[in-house]
Structure 1
Amino acid sequence: MSASPVAADVHIALRDGSTAHVRPVVPGDAPALKTFLSGLSDNSRWLRFFSLGVNLDKAAERAAAGDRPEGYGLIVTTGAEERVVAHAVFELERPDRAEVAFAVADEMQGRGLATVLLAHLAQVASARGVTTFTATVLPENRRMISVFRESGFPVEVRASPDGIEVVFPTELGPDARRRFEDRDRMAAVAAVERVLRPRSVAVVGASRRPDSFGGAAFRHILGNDFRGELLPVNPNAEFVGSRRAVPRVKAGVDLAIVAVPASAVPGVARECAAAGVSAMVVITAGFAEAGAEGAARLAELLEICRSSGMRLVGPNCMGVVNTAPDVSLTATFARADVPAGTIGFVSQSGAFGAAAIDGASRRGIGLSAFVSLGDKADLSSNDFMQYWEQDPATQVVALYLESFGNPLKFGRVARHLARAKPVLAVKAGRTGAGARAASSHTGALIAASDSTVDALFASAGVIRCDGLDDLLDAAAVLSEQPLPTGSGVAIIANARGPLVICADACADAKLEVATLTDETQSALRERLAAGAVVAGPVQLVASETPEQFAAVAESVAADPGVDAVIAIFVEHIATRADDVASCLAGLELDVPLLTVFMTPGNLPVVLRRGATGRRAADTSPEPTLGARAAELARDAAAHAAAKAAEFTRHRQGRPAIPSPIEEVERVGRKIPTFRAPERAAHALGRAAAYARWRAAPAPEPPALDDVDADAAAAILAGALARGGGWLRPDEVEALLAAYGIALVEQRRVSSPAAAAKAAAELGGDVALKGVAPGVVHKAQAGAVRLGLSGPTAVKRAAQEITAKLEGAGMSVGDFLVQRMADPGVEMLVGVLADERFGPVVACGAGGGTAEVLGDVQVRLAPLAREDALDMISQLRSLALLCRVDADVDALADIAVRVGALADAFPAIAELDLNPVMVSAEGAPVVDARVRVAPPAVRSVFPAVGR
């Protein structure tokens, strides 16, 4: 077993939302380990060592032995002093089997530390060839036995003379991964609750100047009736607004909003840590964006938070908002009157977030919560997505992203969330300005765009939006209307032009304009004036009344072929848009209803019954000293009135504060309203696509029974042993054959004469390719000849290729003589190992013009067969494949097998099958190249919040 180090130096989130540091033990940890062991209770020490008389000096020295051939140890530390609170180790019993043991400080038990340590140890052991863990546990140590059973590893328990022996594999199986994901979700929820549901808030930097960040944030919290305790922290003021200021953060504060100069932020963080503050939102800028000095300041801030377990939003952010009635927290300097609703919004850009709040307000939709991430030093969108998944007040999640800390974790979290709630995202940075250098066609195609993000979102069910308007349009539909159960759309309009535009936009959005049944058409003819068109789309005459307009919407919504309704009204002198809106608002439909009002003025407000709003924040100037007494009196009177109202509600049998679920149900639905029919159709198309994704069972990669993974591993191991790089043609052929991917029949020879002989053996027309060191694209180097007939032509072509390459300073090593493939459509299938996304599978138009055409779709490996077929269906080249009745299933099978190969062997850095000649007879691979490189080892638990 090699003693090479493996990932295990990260900060992790605990079940209570705090953090701890997991790292490999080193010999210098012996004193701290002795302190840790001496602090264990007698019971814990007995259960760990089976004795109370253990020599702590020797035990600590042995525990601190560090990474060594016969074992490996980990510790968990907390606090600025790096206090050891847990230790775990495995010791070899034989090369493939090791014994594992744990000890956790009594006060830290029950927070999931043992499970995390077990996961890390298993990953390290598995990477070193250990396949089995054992543990000997005293019969009375039921807590430890439960840890093993609840870990998700398939545990076998045996009785032995020494106690209970637990045996399990080190490989993480599906159950174990699911348990660890559940644990991560629980920790994220606990961490976010510290930020979004605090019982007390301190604004550090609260100012009497309303135009300051701290002053605005404090006044917005105060003005929106925060339900907890609010403290302004300002050592230079006796009062801020109507509240008495304190000079520093005191004990008992849950959340600190920090708006002080950047240089003062670390000191404030230390004060907060000392006071036991659970979380900080740092509004102040001057960190990651401020060069080396700012980066050092950010590292200091993060270290303070990590060492204390305090969670962090920001720095350089706008703040956070939670509109839940039992919290009512508006801790942001941007806007005081954030509209309440059911959309959870997280943004890396403060400006984008502010624009989103304004846009939501204009559309009449609201937010359950808003979070500005800023520099995203700790808590990330992954954490908030996991929180909103279980939050009943949040029905839609919207994201503005500029980067991914951990794309694979994002995909896992988003996929889990999207099965329950729609996830909308705007991802900035679509261009390839920062693309990686890649040698293969596949690598160049993927690197030239952000198609990896498309692949990530497609696999996770995330709805990618083109900008703020697109996101808010879709959010309005998804948050306020039921999901469409199909793609049939009924369009109603009182003017022909907008109706035609809407029908075209529906087709672009992959929706079908429904043709109404004879029964529905007959009912409409009886109701409508002569001249109305009723087959679908439905065109009304201009003189129809608002009541008739609404009645038609109700009728077509009941048609069995209609899954959604778009109602378009063009205002004219006889009928007002507000009257039509009021009639539509009274409908109770089972399908989504979207309205388009093409009016010269403001859009009508389509009211929802029982709607409630939040009181806007007080934006009046800071009171003078003379006015402070009056303000205090008003606050006292308002508080007394609120208490009286609460008492009255209690007497009437109603809860004082409605729960988020009750509030959502009481508010009811709102009808989304648009100015242009194409925007309504586009938003409805987003909802329909999401509904199709969610209704379909999650596709699973197929089990490939005809692969030889051992043969593939041997080829790759040999290549890595010589330093990696491009595989030889014979290695490529053998590697692909191990996974059931066949190249066209070929011969590898060493001379022009041997090439002529090989051509005679193959018979028919052949292709000739020169193999030279360093030449990846043979055609570009002039080393390919096609359609050669007969040995003489092949020998002459081989001599020409030799001269061509030697003239360019290259020497020909060998020649490949291949049987010419049947005519077909040249396609490409390949893989690029992305350092953050993992292996990415590409399929697209191939041949020498692959990069020029840029017709490619990508997915993350491994692929389900449905994923591969969907990828092909979205190519522009599909029309060419259909024209020749090509075997698309064969092409999809190659994509699935390539994905399985790349997923099984991370050492595959690039793989390029180009061209794949797809015809009615199949999809033979004509040319292939594979590059290997040592893979990076990923930790089971990545850094906190990433």
Structure 2
Amino acid sequence: MEAYPADWEADVVLRDGATAHLRPIVPGDADAVVAMHARQSPESIYLRFFAPLPTIPEKDLKRFVTVDYRDRVALVMLIGEEIIGIGRFDRIDDDSAEVAFNIADAHQGRGIGSILLEHLAAAARDLGISVFTAEVLPQNRSMLQVFAAAGFEISREFDDGVVAVRFDIDPTEKSLQVQEAREHRAEALSVRSVLHPASVVVIGASRKRKTAGNLVLRNLTAAGFRGRLSVIHPAAAAVAGIPAVASLSDIEGEVDLAIIAVPAEAVTQVVRDCATHAVKAVVVISSGFAETGEQGLMLQREMVATARSHGMRVVGPNSFGIANTEPEVSLNASLAPFLPDAGSLGLFSQSGALGTGLLAAAKTRGLGISTFVSAGNRADLSGNDVLQYWEEDPVTQTVGLYLESIGNPRKFTRIARRVARVKPVIVIKSDLTGRELPPGHQVRVSSLSGKALDQVLAQAGVIRAGSIHQLFDLAQVLSSQPLPHGHRVGVIGNSAALSTLVIQRARAEGLRIDRPAVSMHPEVSAEDFAAGLAEMYADPTVDSVVVTFTPSAGASEQEIAAILADEAAQSGKTTVACFLGVHGVKDELTAYSRGADGSRRVHTVPSFMGPEDAVWSLARATEYAAWKSSDRGRYPELEGIDHRRARSIIEGALARAQDEDPEARAAGRTVVLERSEARDLLAAYGVHVVPFYAVGSVDAALEKAAEIGYPVALKAVSRRLRHRLELGGVRLGIANPEELRAAWTAISAVIDAAEGPDGERGIDVQEMAPTGLACAIRAGEDPLLGPMVSFALAGDASELLEDVSHRVAPLTDVDAAAMVRGLKSSPRLFGYKGLPVMNVAPIEDILLRLSSLVDDFPAVRSVALRPVNVTEGESSILSAKVELTAQASRIDSSRRRMA
């Protein structure tokens, strides 16, 4: 029997938004399996076992719960201690296995079969199985639908009263889309149950006004919560004017949301009580968890595990609370004594203190919010979950997130890329690498730099803000203005000095000033300003307009503001303003109109404290508009890929390393492939390395050079000297035996000086590749971000200046092209100062193929191709190094799980 596969365990979100726990079966589950069977209807038993089976025979029960986790695998799904679904497969041969399911009658229709199938397929692929088969009775339509709707290519045959189903379980584009869509619906619904409660109970509200529970209760009352509000207090008849009850048992009807403000050590028991009374979600205001140390972390994990295993979502702990300004909800279950007006900005914060700052800044600037979530320690509900909800929320039109850490960045970028196609996503995050974390946040650490992670966000269409100030500057534009149709900006105002500042900053931000700025007289009249605005908006070469105005004797700010609001509303062009007395989205710069359906429409021009802020915000909005309208490419079907060969090489190398060092897997050590293995693995994905030959003497080098033909190159194997032409470890263009003898002697001397007698002394002989521009390509599994691909021109300058392109795999053809062209040094590839124009198509193909390799195999920790010579024709890969990890664990994997 294989060891219990703990990494197969997962908390999952069901179709209805509730949660459950999934894990491999163990012999101790026998009683729970019997109990589930006893609750099943005769029809369900017949559909599963093809015969009446009132009780499970002891022999069969033992076989059901005793598996080897290799040839016989079973997973159970639980809510609390109750098993609500079982999925299993039994290996038929090396490649295929028979799969079967049993879903509890009371829980059918919750998507349990689909989730079990996803997890069984992922486990089977881990074990080298590629095909599932099943035998299903024709009347078992629900199970046939699970197979049909999974996105795999299904074949069916009807024989002897049974439908035989067969399908390949390797992920397809359709199956991944199905999985992603199911995940989205489930997680969005789970967040909706948190933000749209029909009934709320506050647990732990003291009669003292300055306590957290009392404050939340008063804020709920002050906001006019439209649902049923209850409070639990063991002794008081009322708290903050709300009648109190002694326990949850005293509340009639269902409770959707519980706000918990009791001491940390009591929270888990309160969560258990909530589970007993079918509460759907909890917001834990209490602190004293992971932010306090190891003991608090254990408390936090116990509390979350209790909630998830009973179907509940958790906001917090250490949360500032949540809010929903929709009139039919009017929920302020937070510590904020005030809320901005209802609006279209969704706000998410991990920090309680900054949650206050976010709400205060929105209110000060006149920006209305739709919903607000403070995740605190983000032990369960995360920014990823809330993004899933906001994607389809018709009220939320702009998303703003303050993130102290990202637990699952790959999933974040995957969701954000989808959300950003329909509404802008703005993120404040000072450090995305996982190295600088506030107390209570447990995430992995990235191996890449902050600049790499900026590129990851940009790839997903996420707009990065450096501060709360910038977030709201940008939100002002995106919440109130149409997106710019291009980069051309018109500037108008009554201050030549301000206009000059605007022009200089606009050009620095990548905007175009094709039309001369219109600088009016400092004492301009309202009529002249209106005429100038009308002319500016009528110019077809202007995509957006920056308006500045300083106090004037000719017209008041109120007059100019009203004129600007009307002209901007009629133009439909993006407009930002600098009115020294107005900051934010204010009534002074608001115009109203009637839509075709008779509805009232509001048009507000955002005003900024200075021209720099206005132009920065306009530039980011313009970049977002360009990203949104751009072609994001396609995932090409790459020819010449042998997945089976690649898997065999990887598994063989890992098995050999395990035999040599049994502790390697547990320690998560890396395995460096032999150079021939690395070459074979890359060849399986259509990436070919120029052959090189290790030789131990000058005579052997002469013999190999004669065999492959001159000219040749000699290269020291030493890590210190390889690729370092300037250190003397490489000799190129060796034309004859005499030159080879001299080069061998010179390299040997360099090795002696650099390595000493015990260092790496090998030398390779390699045929000379065509002269070109040297590049470096890397790919592999980043601990935090998952599969990544990087590209740079070779050399110290690229590394020191971080002139490197990074993208998350898988890549589209557009991603690959952008990586090559996105370097500051990329002009060297395209004819800079008389250099030849290189053929970059082979480089883009290599990027796509490596992207596919590292996306398919999380065990590939690192692939380094250096140098890759780019020429006017073909490219040549001159060296390759591949490292595997003995303990691959991808956060955002092919099996759905909460993270």
How high is the TM-score relative to the length of structure 2? 0.89
Query: 699, 715, 739: which one pairs with 1:769?
Result: 715
Q: Are the equivalent residues in 1 in contact too, given 2:867–2:879 (CA < 8 A)?
A: yes
1:627 maps to which residue?
none
Deviations 1:212-231 (A, max 9, x none): 21222111111111111222
The residue that corresponds to 2:285 in the other structure is: 283
Measure, in 1, the Cα distance between the counterparts of 2:274 and 2:703: 82
1:800 aligns with one of 735, 749, 766: 749
TM-aligned CA deviation for residue 937 of structure 1: 5.2
Deviation at 1:386, TM superposition (A): 0.9
Shift of 1:576: 2.3
Q: Distance in 2 between matches of 1:881 and 1:168?
A: 46
Matches within 5 A, 1:812-851: 812-817=761-766, 819=768, 822=771, 824=773, 826-851=774-799
Q: Residues 181 and 799 (structure 1 numbering): CA distance in 2 closer, same or farther, change over 3 Å?
A: closer
Shift in CA distance, 133/323, structure 1 to aligned 2, threshold 3 Å: same
Deviation at 1:42, TM superposition (A): 1.6
> Does structure 1 retain, via aligned residues, the 8 Å contact 2:187–2:385?
yes
Tell me, which stretches of 5 or more residues in structure 1 are unaligned?
A: 436-444, 516-535, 612-660
Deviation at 1:208, TM superposition (A): 3.7
In 1, Cα distance between the equivalents of 2:94 and 2:748? 55
Matched residue of 1:153: which SS? coil
Structure 2 CA distance for partners of 1:184 and 1:792, relative to 1, 3 Å: closer
- Aligned partner of 2:603 among 654, 663, 669: 669
Going from structure 1 to structure 2, the CA distance change for 1:890 and 1:71 (only over 3 Å counts) comes to: closer
Q: Is 1:498–2:444 an aligned residue pair?
A: no
Structure 1's 318 and 727: CA in aligned 2 closer, same or farther, altered over 3 A?
A: same
SS in 2 for 1:22: strand
Q: For residue 400 of structure 1, what is the amino acid of its counterpart?
A: Y
Q: How many residues align structurally?
A: 864
Q: Structure 1, residues 94-142: CA drift from partner, whole Å, max 9, x if none?
A: 4333222221111101101111111111222233233322222222222
Task: Give the unaligned 5+ runs of structure 2.
Answer: 438-444, 658-669
Q: How has the CA–CA distance of structure 1 residues 799 and 56 changed in structure 2, closer, same or farther, with 3 Å as cutoff?
A: closer
Contact 1:451/1:857 (8 A) holds in 2: no
Name the structure 1 match of 2:672.
726
Q: Is contact 2:119-2:896 (8 Å) kept?
A: no
CA contact (8 A) 1:768 1:797 kept: no
- Counterpart CA distance in 2 for 1:391 and 1:665 is 20
**Given the alignment of the two structures, is residue 102 of structure 1 paired with residue 101 of structure 2, yes or no?**
yes
Q: How far off its partner does 1:557 sit?
A: 2.5
SS at match of 2:378: coil
Moved more, 177-186 or 380-389: 177-186
Cα distance, 1:167 vs. partner? Answer: 2.3
Work out the CA distance in 2 between the residues paired with 1:51 and 1:227: 52
Q: Structure 1's 668 and 66: CA in aligned 2 closer, same or farther, altered over 3 A?
A: farther
- Describe the shift of the 1:188–1:707 C-alpha distance in structure 2 as closer, same or farther (beyond 3 A): closer
For residues 776 and 48 of structure 1, the distance between their equivalents in structure 2, rounded to whole angstroms, comes to 62
Displacement after TM superposition at 1:737 (Å): 4.8
Separation in 2 of the partners of 1:935 and 1:562?
56
Correspondent of 2:555 among 572, 575, 581: 575
Q: 1:906–1:15: structure 2 CA closer, same or farther, 3 Å change rule?
A: closer
The correspondence of residues 177-256 of structure 1 with structure 2, limited to 5 A, is 177-249=176-248, 250-251=251-252, 252-256=254-258
Alignment of 1:388-537 (within 5 A): 388-429=390-431, 433=435, 447=447, 449-515=449-515, 536-537=516-517
> For the residues of structure 2 that align with 1:722 and 1:541, how far apart are their CA atoms?
81
2:258 is equivalent to residue 309 of structure 1: no
Q: Distance in 1 between matches of 2:867 and 2:598?
A: 55
Match of 2:63 in 1: 62
Q: CA deviation at 1:595?
A: 3.1
One-letter amino acid of the counterpart of residue 548, structure 1:
D
Contact 2:214–2:240 (CA<8 Å) still a contact in 1? no
**Deviation at 1:816?**
3.4
1:360 and 1:223, CA in 2 relative to 1: closer, same or farther beyond 3 A? Answer: same
Match of 1:76 in 2: 77
Q: For 1:75, what is the secondary structure of its paired residue?
A: strand
Contact 1:257 1:282 in 2 (8 A): yes
Secondary structure of 1:334's partner? coil
Give the counterpart letter for 1:539 in structure 2. Answer: S
Contact 1:373 1:380 (C-alpha < 8 Å) held by counterparts = yes
Counterpart selection for 2:888 from 936, 941, 946: 936
User: Taking structure 1 as reference, are residues 917 and 665 closer, same or farther at Cα in structure 2, changes over 3 Å only?
Assistant: farther
Q: Determine the C-alpha separation between the residues in 1 that align with 2:555 and 2:263.
A: 58
Superposed displacement of residue 387, structure 1: 0.9
Separation in 2, partners of 1:610, 1:325: 22
Task: Give per-residue Cα distances to partners, 1:10-58, cap 9 Å, x unaligned.
Answer: 1111122211111111122112111111110122112212222454233
Aligned equivalents of 2:305, 2:646: Cα separation in 1: 44
**Larger relative contact order, structure 1 or 2 (CA cutoff 8 Å, min sep 6):** 1
Of residues 322, 325, 328, the one that matches 1:323 is 325
1:428: how far off?
A: 2.9
Q: Which moved more, 1:774-783 or 1:331-340?
A: 774-783
Bigger CA drift: 67-76 or 180-189?
A: 67-76
Cα separation, 2, equivalents of 1:823 and 1:182: 46
2:588 corresponds to:
606
**Is contact 1:67-1:73 (8 Å) kept?**
no
CA distance in 2: counterparts of 1:703 and 1:738, whole angstroms: 15
Backbone CA RMSD of aligned residues: 3.2
Cα distance in 2, alignment partners of residues 153 and 594 from structure 1: 49
Residues in 2 aligned to 1:128 and 1:345: alpha-carbon distance in whole angstroms: 43
1:155 paired with 2:154, answer yes
The answer to whether the Cα contact below 8 Å between 2:858 and 2:889 also exists between their aligned partners in 1 is: no
Amino acid at match of 1:569: F
2:528 partner SS: helix
Q: Assess, with a 3 A threshold, how the Cα gap between structure 1 residues 446 and 792 changes in structure 2: closer, same or farther.
A: farther
1:870 equivalent to 2:829? Answer no
Q: Secondary structure of 1:245's partner?
A: strand
- Asked whether the 8 Å contact 2:447–2:782 carries over to 1, the reply is no
Q: Is the 8 A contact 2:198 2:227 kept in 1?
A: yes
Q: Is the 8 A contact 2:97 2:133 kept in 1?
A: yes
CA distance in 2: counterparts of 1:904 and 1:268, whole angstroms = 43
Distance of 1:226 and 1:673 partners within structure 2 = 33
TM-score normalized with structure 1 length: 0.85
Partner AA of 2:84 in structure 1: V
Distance 2:4 2:268 in 1: 37
Amino acid at match of 1:570: T
CA deviation vs aligned residue, 1:322-349 (integer Å, no higher than 9, x gap): 0111101111112423332101111111
CA 1:411/1:493 → structure 2, altered by over 3 Å: closer, same or farther?
Answer: same
Which piece of structure 1 moves more, 323-332 or 839-848? 839-848
CA–CA distance in structure 1, aligned partners of residues 202 and 575 of structure 2: 42
Secondary structure of residue in 1 paired with 2:500: helix
Change (3 A) 1:416 1:595: closer
Q: Are 1:125 and 2:130 matched, yes or no? A: no
Matched, 1:344 2:326: no
SS of residue paired to 2:381: coil
Query: Aligned partners of 1:545 and 1:841: how far apart in 2?
Result: 58
Note the alpha carbon deviations across 1:161-205, whole angstroms, 9 max, x for none: 132222222223222222222222222122112211111112223
> Residue in 1 aligned with 2:15?
15
- Cα shift at 1:316: 0.2
In the alignment, structure 1 residue 913 sits paired with structure 2 residue 895: no
Structure 1 residue 760 displacement after superposition: 6.9
Shift of 1:593: 3.3
Identity among equivalent pairs (%)? 37
- Aligned residue number for residue 679 of structure 1: 613
Cα 1:63–1:669 change in 2 (3 A) is farther
SS state of the match for residue 407, structure 2?
Answer: coil
Specify whether residues 592 and 236 from structure 1 end up closer, same or farther in structure 2 by C-alpha distance, changes over 3 A only. Answer: farther
Q: Which amino acid aligns with 2:541?
A: G
Q: 1:138 to 1:710 in 2, by over 3 A?
A: closer
CA–CA separation in structure 2 for the residues paired with 1:880 and 1:238? 78
Deviation at 1:851, TM superposition (A): 3.1
